[in-house]
Each structure stands twice: as structure tokens, then as C-alpha cells.
Amino acid sequence: MNQHRVRQGVESSVRVLARQYSNTQCFTPVAICLRGFFRLTLIPMSKKPIFIYDTTLRDGSQGEGVSFSLNDKLQIALRLAETGIDFIEGGYPLSNEKDEAFFKQIREHDLGGSQICAFGMTRRRSMKAQDDPGMKALVAAKSPGITVVGKTWDFHATEVLGVSLEENLAMIGESVEFLAENAHVIYDAEHFFDGFRANPEYAIKTLRAAAAGGAKVMALCDTNGGSLPEQIAAITTKAMEGLQDYPGVSFGIHCHNDGELAVANSLAAVDVGVTQVQGTINGIGERCGNADLISVIGNLGLKKEGYSVLGGEGLSHLTELSRFVYETANLQWRNGQAFVGQSAFAHKGGMHVHAINKASKTYEHIDPSLVGNERRILVSELSGRSNIIAVADKHSIQDDKEVQSKILAEVVRLENQGFQFENAGGSFDLLIKRVVGSFTPHFSPLKYRVVAGETSADERDVYSEAILKIRIGDQDVFNAAEGHGPVNALDTALREVLLPFYPQLRDMHLVDYKVRVVDNGAGTAAGTRVNIESGDKEETWGTIGVSDNIIEASFQALLDSVEYKLHKDNVTPAT
Amino acid sequence: MNQHRVRQGVESSVRVLARQYSNTQCFTPVAICLRGFFRLTLIPMSKKPIFIYDTTLRDGSQGEGVSFSLNDKLQIALRLAETGIDFIEGGYPLSNEKDEAFFKQIREHDLGGSQICAFGMTRRRSMKAQDDPGMKALVAAKSPGITVVGKTWDFHATEVLGVSLEENLAMIGESVEFLAENAHVIYDAEHFFDGFRANPEYAIKTLRAAAAGGAKVMALCDTNGGSLPEQIAAITTKAMEGLQDYPGVSFGIHCHNDGELAVANSLAAVDVGVTQVQGTINGIGERCGNADLISVIGNLGLKKEGYSVLGGEGLSHLTELSRFVYETANLQWRNGQAFVGQSAFAHKGGMHVHAINKASKTYEHIDPSLVGNERRILVSELSGRSNIIAVADKHSIQDDKEVQSKILAEVVRLENQGFQFENAGGSFDLLIKRVVGSFTPHFSPLKYRVVAGETSADERDVYSEAILKIRIGDQDVFNAAEGHGPVNALDTALREVLLPFYPQLRDMHLVDYKVRVVDNGAGTAAGTRVNIESGDKEETWGTIGVSDNIIEASFQALLDSVEYKLHKDNVTPAT
């Protein structure tokens, strides 16, 4: 192992940890030598450290709809390192040039105490390890860690690979032995739990082959994701018993979520002595995904007693990390995701909101700020007055039950048309103002038209234009604009018309634009709900429009976003 | 309890079960008397029945973005009954007229062996149960079951409700006693696990008050969703010990998913003797949702030994039930959902696809058909040749490596532009045909234009028009159409032009239309990905379009959907 790199790792660990713990008194930095890695960590004497192994960039990228560019991978690796993730599996260097380039470029970055691992399979049959292209690619990745996966299940060796049980053991042992000369080797025992159930004796032999070859960690994989917590605990215990004569070997767990038990299974393995948990951020991965490390870290760090993860401090970055990975993978957030979801601390039921206003522990299992998340109070027909009051207290209607009833009735009426105000705080604010009578329009749309088309089939000459007429004070203003798509053209035309009257709009920009088909059954004639998020230097706000016509729905949301901005800045309407 | 209704229930149970089991030999129908309900069920002698209690219509409707109409609620209740769910909580009759109407109308339907429950809270303080409006509404619902929730946690009673600990016990006992005269009472012990941790003695007293009042089931609620499986098991055991002198009382479990452990927690409670599991379909519900009954049923029915659920037969309807609830609630499917997700048996990694082709158990924990789901092979840059071959074998290119490489290169090129072929099998099929050279266009678009606008601000007079010119054989055809929104207008104009040439298109219809913004950062100028699902009498197929302009992206997907139809029907291009 490259001594210079090890020293660099220790030095950067010291910097990162010293920064993290400069304000705490109850921890002392301790340099420990962890199975070949020098690593500095700070843990209370009473807590057992559990090491987090992230495979978002390898197993996560197998998820449906997931596709990372090289830059995506580098950015995610850096973010994982910042959060304090112990091991970062970067990819499968043999599989494609992108992964090969990743290992080269990541070496240029300071990853603090985090260690990069390259992933690959055991050598092919009837070939020396040093001649195998996969083995060579793993060594060429020059990562401090190498994770090599081998077959546990006798059926997989004989039926899928087509090798004898003896040859499979040789493939495992020789591959690990060759790689262990170059790096810290983690052995991923594929299908360990299914394999153990089918042939326990052979399953243990495969681990022993890896241990004899010099692997430092046995990561037991529930590859098909169908095991139950009690099975994980019992079989992991048997595996540990089978390797008692290798005291330097520790154990890891790698779960998939096909039974919605990946997190519970990971925790069950930790309870019987596993010290490394493998998984992905947000649980992305093939089929039902991997164990979600967000939940694993949340439960180990905040709920279960006796364990420490990420040195404690990294937990408050979990929400930010989760959303960064969703955005980079271009996946939709899962609102109901444990710990970090947008709805994880959102309260809708009136009774709950009433109680939360008295004491947060009434309906929150943890303080949302511990994981970097925040509380939200939602507006809906079910919510009753408590929610209306919680959201609307800035309108001074806390005590006006008649106005509250009118607002509630208007919310119900619009919800029946397909509106949802949960992500449209700007439109809800304007709704209250309209009911209360404090809404003063800054302009009135008179008519608009958008035109979009393609003038020539050969050239893909696509164009979009918008034309509109707006009354501002006593003037009727007419304007037209081109844009990237019809909604952008409409937005541009509207801004150009309003700017001379309301220069404040220069600060405002669009943050996000989302389209949802409200009635999936009706094809292109279905209703559409458009949500627009806008922002200025101070805040962001959501607005909504609903119509059969996507252009009309977008226009409604655009109008609300501008009116919200002008109202919040207390701009006097032009006359 | 109304004897006529009980008899009706038994009779319809017999009908449903006789139908379900007419082909099985190893089960015998047995009429059992379950805590006041007559219920007919068929279970192997060795298996313990676990009763499934669904609260999708009550607790599920508290989820963010969830809003059910009266008709939605009735349709879901009927579907739950068809699947064999034991208890269906219909709503909170006091809270709104919709729920009140639900209980009236559901009585007109045959629910087989399923029992409807109404939900409410214990009586208000300083009031007789029979005078309380909530109690009256529960009785007026005339459902065979009533579920009443009370406070377990001393802090909640004194600080949130503002009542003494003694008054809280009286509220529980008197409410249950009053309701038990009218129905089978299930007592929901809110915050049971947090309450027990805070004050175990008082928590047990609240259960004993409910048992003394005549409640038949103690449903222990992990209301804040933050408990761990070992805590659930230990505290549930304590609760059972505390009620040993009430042998007629059984136990239920009601978990929330704030730690991503709701399913594991429910199973842990079953392992210590709980016989009723409460939850929602797809786990919808406030914050991170409730225990997902799909996963609870899947694990109890297919993975854990010694239990029976839904009499066995209902499991193959789980996928259909899950999707029906998503569609009715107008929520997006969760692709990675355990057991029933679209990706739950989808294979992307080339190595996995290779193995799956040899034996399905290699990467599938169960046969997907057991839960009504199916296997899918995905196309992506990571997939390698195995996936291309699996999808493309009908194109006879299994052995042509050069063509396979060309296809892979084209997929990668388009994925970089924002295309994803995973849900666009129709467009992928055309892509292969284009590479192979077997694509023969049936028409060529020459130009198009859509116009959408509003002619008058007062009247909301929204219109959409499309104009297009298409070359079919040697004719150039020009057409225009109006529509609900610009895409619908374009679709209509295209069909009108093509129908005289290709009458087969009469069978084709649009099933779904979805819009995804590819780059969230750029507001309305962002790229859009449009997925269209089309169908005829035989099958459905997905197509895709990507562009800055939503109209252009939609047009691409429309064109592909028509070409796919004409190719699959082997229609000769017009000349």
C-alpha cells in the first residue's frame, strides 16, 4: 500500500475531524489502525463504531432510471467524503471507460478520512489471477480498497458460471490473494444467505477461501433481498462462528430491499456483531434498491444505543446529501422518505398540527434539525382550522372564525378541481388575501396566444412564440416574445411588459417548473397541474395552475408567481 | 350487534370463500366466531391466521398529496374487500360529510367476509359518552366495527388534551363501554410505545380501562414511527402480560415508517403474538406513511413461516390492488416498491440478465406472479449485450455483434440527450428497426404549428388549435384540429390525416401521457421528456420524445406511437 497516500489520508482526517470537533469537549481524537487503513476517528469510549460503506456509484447506478456522468460521480464522491462516509465504492473499472476515468481523477482530490474502493469480480475460470483483465483493471484503479465479489451459492457456481465447486473456491482464494498484495480487500459474498440456506458447509468454505487469501472484511450479501431479520441474524452468527480462527477478519452486511426489510436486516446484522454496513444513498439500486444508508445512519446514530457512525457530526448533512444525490441522478425526491423526505416532518391532520404547536415531540420522533430537515405545516381540506391558523397567522386572522371558514371552503372547492396547495404556498397566500379582501391586482391579463411548431421536417427547426395583452393601471400593453418552448416564451413576454412598471421583478427568477397529469386515464386530453417555484434574493415560493390546457395551467401559475412577488414586496399597483 | 347484518356477512363469506377455494383440496372451509364477528375462513391447521386491518381510507388520506372523493373511497373499499382484507377502516364520520356518506352508501354493497370499521376519538372531557357528538357519529355510522383512539402517554393527556390522568382513563373506559353496546370495538392505543417508555404503569392502565369497557382488540400504535423492532417486541410482550386476566382480548399493531422500519416492526409484533396488523396500501399516510400492507402481506404470506393471511388466494391481486390505489389517489407509482413495484423484478445489470435467462431464482426472491407482478428486462448503457439480446431477440439479431454494438452506441447517444428507453419499449423497437434497416416510414411530418390562448380574461375562453402537413406516399395532406390543450389538438389533427390511409389506427388510443422536466435548474427553459403510453385491443406500448419544447417532445412521442402500431400490425406503407 502506498505509504504516502496513507499519510495523506491521516493528515486530512486530522484536519476534517479537528474542524468537526473543535466545539465539543466529550470526545477525544484517537488515531486508530483499522485493518490496514490508518484512520483517525473520535468516538465516546462506550460506543462501538460502525463503518459505512457507500455503493451509490456502483450498485446504485444499476437502479432503473439512474445514469451518472463522470462529473456526477466525482461530485457525489466528494459530497460523500464531506459527510464522513467511511468507504466509497467508485465503480467497476473493467465495465466502462467512465469508471476507469473516475478512479484516475478522484486521486486528485482530498477526501478527508474516506477511502475509495474499486469493485470487480473474481478471476475468470482456467486463468491465472494476474492474467485476468478484470484483476488488472482493479489493480490499475490504484484505489486504497478493492472489493471483489464471489459466488457463495453452489447452484450459481455450477449452473450460472458453469465451474466446479472446487474451481470456484480457487477463483475466490487466488483472486483475493493477488489483490491483497495491492490494497485492503473486502470480499463481497454474493447470495450469502440464499447460498447458506442451500448448502451451509459450502457457503462457509467460500468465506474461508477469501479469508485465507487475505481479505480483511467479509461482506455478506442478501443479493436477492428476500431475507428476514431473524434469518440475517442467525446466518451471520453462523458465518462468524465458521471463521473464528481468523481473528483479524471482520464482517460487513449488504442488503437489498425486495421485502422492504433492508434497513431492519442491516440493523439485525449489526446487533450480532457486524461492523460495516453497505448500502446506497436514498436506497437507489436495482429492483427495489439497496439498504438506504440515510435510514441506516439515522437509526444507528440517533435511535439505537451503543453505536457511533460518521463521528456524529455528519448526520446534520443527511438531508442535503440525500437531495444532492436525487438531483444529480435526476430522480424525483421521495417525499415520504424516512428522516430526510420533504414530508417526513410535515403535518396535515388538524389534531396533529394543534398538538405540534404545543410540543413537537407529540408527533415527531426526532428533532428534524438533527438530520438537517425541517418541519412543514400543510394546507388541505382535512386539516381543519388548526392548519389554516398555523399557516395564516401573518394575515391576522387567528381569531376570525368566519374568514377561516371561507378560506377552508375555497380550499375544498379548488382541491376538487385538482389544485393542491401543499407545494404552492405563494398561491395559498394570494388565496387568503383574496378572501380577506387585501388582494390588490397589479395587472390584468386581457388575452394571450402561444404558437409553437416546426417549419421543416429536415432541419428540426422548432420555434415557440407568445403574444399577450395586459392591462396595467389604465394602459393596455401588447407584447410578443420567442422562447425555448411555449411557456418560456410566455414568461419572457410577460416580464418584458411588466418590467417598466415593476422594476422589482428584475430580481425574480424561475427555480423549477413541474407538470403533473391530474387524470391519468384520459391521455392527452387529461387535466394538467403545473407547479412553478420562483425565487428572489430572499426566498423561494411555489405557485400552481390547473387546466385541461397545459399552457393555460402554466400561465395561471406564472401570474400568481409575479403577483406574490409584488405583494410580498408591498409594491403599490401602477395607475 | 345487528344479527341480520352478521348473517349476511357469514353468507357472503361462504360465497366468496367457496369460489376462492373450489379448486383446492388441502383446505377446508371453517366457520369461526372471531371476537363477536362471525367469519368464515380457510386455513391450514398448522398456520396461525393474521388479520389485516386497512386504514388507507382514514390514516392513508392524511398523507401529503392524498385526497379521496366519496366515489374513490367506495371503489377502494370494494377492491380491498375483493382482495380479502379482513377489516376496512372507512373514515372518521364526525370529521366531514364525505365520510358520513361513505358509511351510509357502503352498506348497500356485498363486501364478502370483510368488515367495515368507523374511526373516532374517545369522548370529550366532562361529558357523558352518550352526549358526545363524536360518539353519536360513530354509532350513526352503523358499521360492524368501531375503532376508537385514546391517549396512552401521560404527557399527551395532561399537556395536549389538558385533562387529568384519571379523567383520561374515564374517557377511555366510558367511551369503549358505550360503543361496545353497538359494535365490535377495537381500541387504538395512541403513542403506546412512547407512552410506555415514559410511564409504563400508566400505559398499561389505559389498556386495562379499554379492556374493562369491553374492547376486543388492543391495537398498539407507534404513532411517531420512531421505534425499533426490539423495542416493539419487548413492549408488546409487556402489554400482553399486563392484560393476562383478560383472555378474550387480542392484540393488534399499528406502525408508522419514520425510521423505515414499519414493516419490520409489524413483523416483530406478530412474532410475539399480535394477531392483527394495521396499515395502508402502498404505505400512504402522514409524514413517512404507515406500514405498507403490501409488504406486510407479502412477508407474512410468502416469506415467514407459520402464518396465513387473506386465506392465501388474495396475494396474486396485490400488484393490481397497489396500482388501483395509486391511480385512485392520483399518486405516482413507486417503481422500487417491494413486491409490486414496476422495477421490483426489473433487471438492468448485464450479468444479472444473463443469469436470469438461465434461472429466475438467481436474482429474484420470489416468483413475481405470486403477487401478480411480472419480470422486465431493461435497456441502458450499463446493460451490455445481454440486455439488448433479451429485448431484441424478436429482431433476429442474437448473433450479430456488429448490429448489437451499433444499437448500444445509439442508446448511449440518446441517453446523453435525456432519452430513457426503460418505459419506452415502442420507441426502442423502432430504434432497433432503424439500425437494422427494417424501418419503413408510413408517413413523414413536413411541418406543424400549435396555437393556444385565451381570448378574453373575463370568460376564461381558452382554446387550442393544431395545424399540420404530412406526406403520405406521394400526397401532401394538410389538416387542422381543435383540442383540449395543444397536444390533444395535435393528436387529433394527426389521426384525422392518417385514418383514411391507415384505418387500423381506429383501434389505437392513448392510455397515459407524462411530462418530466429533465433539467430542474433551468425553470421554464428546461428540457422536457414526454412519455406516452398507447394501446389497442391487444397490448400497450410506451414511446418517448425529448426537447426544450414540450410540444415538440410530445409530437415526437406521438409520431413514434403511431409508427409502432403500424409496424407491429405489418401495415404496408401507402404509396
Say which of B354, B359, B517 has its CB closest to residue A513. B517
Which of B444, B514, B524, B540 is the mutation pick for testing A, counting most A CBs within 10 A? Answer: B524
pLDDT in the model for residue A511: 73
Nearest CA in chain B to A508: B523
pLDDT in the model for residue B526: 56
Q: Which of chain A's residues have a Cβ under 8 Å away from the Cβ of B548? A: 462, 484-485
Nearest CA in chain A to B332: A516
Binned at pLDDT 50, 70 and 90, residue A12 comes out as very low
Say which of A228, A486, A513 has its CB closest to residue B523. A513
Average pLDDT over residues A272-281: 98
pLDDT in the model for residue A3: 42
Distance CA B72, CA B411 (A): 41
CB A82 within 8 A of CB A54: no
Is a pLDDT exceeding 70 seen at residue A73?
A: yes
CB B497 within 8 A of CB B469: no
pLDDT in the model for residue B388: 66
* ipTM rounded to 2 decimals: 0.72
Cell numbers for A261, please give them.
426489510
Binned at pLDDT 50, 70 and 90, residue A542 comes out as confident
CB A180 within 8 A of CB A147: no
pLDDT in the model for residue B518: 65
pLDDT in the model for residue B394: 64
Q: Which of chain B's residues have a Cβ under 8 Å away from the Cβ of A299? A: 228, 259-261
Is a pLDDT exceeding 60 seen at residue A43?
A: no
CB A561 within 8 A of CB A532: yes
Kind plus residue range of the DSSP H or E element containing B94? none
Nearest CA in chain B to A364: B224
Binned at pLDDT 50, 70 and 90, residue A37 comes out as very low
Task: Tell me the C-alpha to C-alpha distance, in Å, between residue B439 and each of A59, B435, B463.
Answer: 36, 8, 37
Task: Decide if A485 and B509 are in contact by the 8 Å CB cutoff.
Answer: no
Question: How does strand A30-34 pair with strand A37-41?
Answer: antiparallel
Which DSSP string do the residues of B297-342 spell out, in sequence order? HHIIIIISSSEE-TTTGGGGGHHHHHHHHHHHHT----TT-TTTST
Kind plus residue range of the DSSP H or E element containing A168? helix A165-180
pLDDT in the model for residue A391: 66
Binned at pLDDT 50, 70 and 90, residue A35 comes out as very low
Distance CA A236, CA A254 (A): 12
CB A42 within 8 A of CB A21: yes
Task: Decide if B449 and A445 are in contact by the 8 Å CB cutoff.
Answer: no
Task: Decide if B486 and A334 are in contact by the 8 Å CB cutoff.
Answer: no
Alpha helices per DSSP H over A359-468: 384-392, 401-417, 425-436
Is a pLDDT exceeding 90 seen at residue A329?
A: no
Domain layout of chain A by residue ranges: 48-313, 396-440+509-570, 443-501
Residues of chain B with pLDDT under 50: 1-41, 381-383, 520-523
Cell numbers for A510, please give them.
424561475
Task: Decide if A513 and B491 are in contact by the 8 Å CB cutoff.
Answer: no
Distance CA A489, CA B548 (A): 12
* Lowest model confidence (mean pLDDT) among A43-52, A228-237, A251-260: A43-52
Say which of B378, B454, B551 has its CB closest to residue A448. B454
Q: Is A439 helix (H, G, I), strand (E, B) or coil?
A: coil
- A85-103, pLDDT tens digit by residue? 999 999 989 877 888 899 9
- A415-457, pLDDT tens digit by residue? 767 787 766 889 999 999 999 899 999 999 999 999 988 887 5
Task: Decide if A447 and B462 are in contact by the 8 Å CB cutoff.
Answer: no
Which tops the pLDDT comparison, A414 or A84?
A84
Q: Which of chain B's residues have a Cβ under 8 Å away from the Cβ of A357? A: none
Q: Which of chain A's residues have a Cβ under 8 Å away from the Cβ of B443? A: none
Nearest CA in chain B to A345: B287
Task: Decide if A338 and B303 are in contact by the 8 Å CB cutoff.
Answer: no
Is a pLDDT exceeding 60 seen at residue A28?
A: no
- A132-172, pLDDT tens digit by residue? 999 999 999 999 999 999 999 999 999 888 999 999 999 99
Task: Decide if A509 and B532 are in contact by the 8 Å CB cutoff.
Answer: no
Task: Decide if A336 and B554 are in contact by the 8 Å CB cutoff.
Answer: no
Which DSSP string do the residues of B460-505 spell out, in sequence order? T-EEEEEEEEEEETTEEEEEEEE-SSHHHHHHHHHHHHHTTT-GGG
pLDDT in the model for residue B390: 65
Quickly tell me which residue has 418590467 as its cell: A499
Is a pLDDT exceeding 50 seen at residue A38?
A: no
Q: In CATH terms, are A396-440+509-570 and A443-501 the same topology?
A: yes
The CA distance from A186 to the nearest CA of chain B, in Å, is 20
Task: Decide if A415 and B456 are in contact by the 8 Å CB cutoff.
Answer: no
The CA distance from A475 to the nearest CA of chain B, in Å, is 15
Nearest CA in chain A to B362: A156
Task: Decide if A365 and B224 are in contact by the 8 Å CB cutoff.
Answer: yes
Question: How does strand B346-347 pair with strand B307-308?
Answer: unpaired
Class of the domain covering B443-501: alpha beta
The CA distance from A194 to the nearest CA of chain B, in Å, is 9
The fold adopted by the segment(s) B48-313 is TIM Barrel (3.20.20)
pLDDT in the model for residue A351: 64
Task: Tell me the C-alpha to C-alpha distance, in Å, between residue A10 and each of A13, A33, A53.
Answer: 5, 10, 18
- A185-207, pLDDT tens digit by residue? 999 999 999 999 999 999 999 99
Q: Which of chain A's residues have a Cβ under 8 Å away from the Cβ of B327? A: 520-521
pLDDT in the model for residue A462: 84
pLDDT in the model for residue A8: 44
CATH number of B396-440+509-570: 3.30.160.340
- B87-112, pLDDT tens digit by residue? 999 999 987 788 889 999 999 999 99
The mean predicted confidence, pLDDT, of chain A is 85
Write the CB contacts of B574 (distance below 8 Å, at least 6 apart in sequence): B442, B443, B472, B473, B501, B502
Whether the full predicted model's pTM is greater than 0.80, yes or no, is no
Nearest CA in chain B to A153: B362
Say which of A338, A349, A484 has its CB closest to residue B259. A338
The mean predicted confidence, pLDDT, of chain B is 85
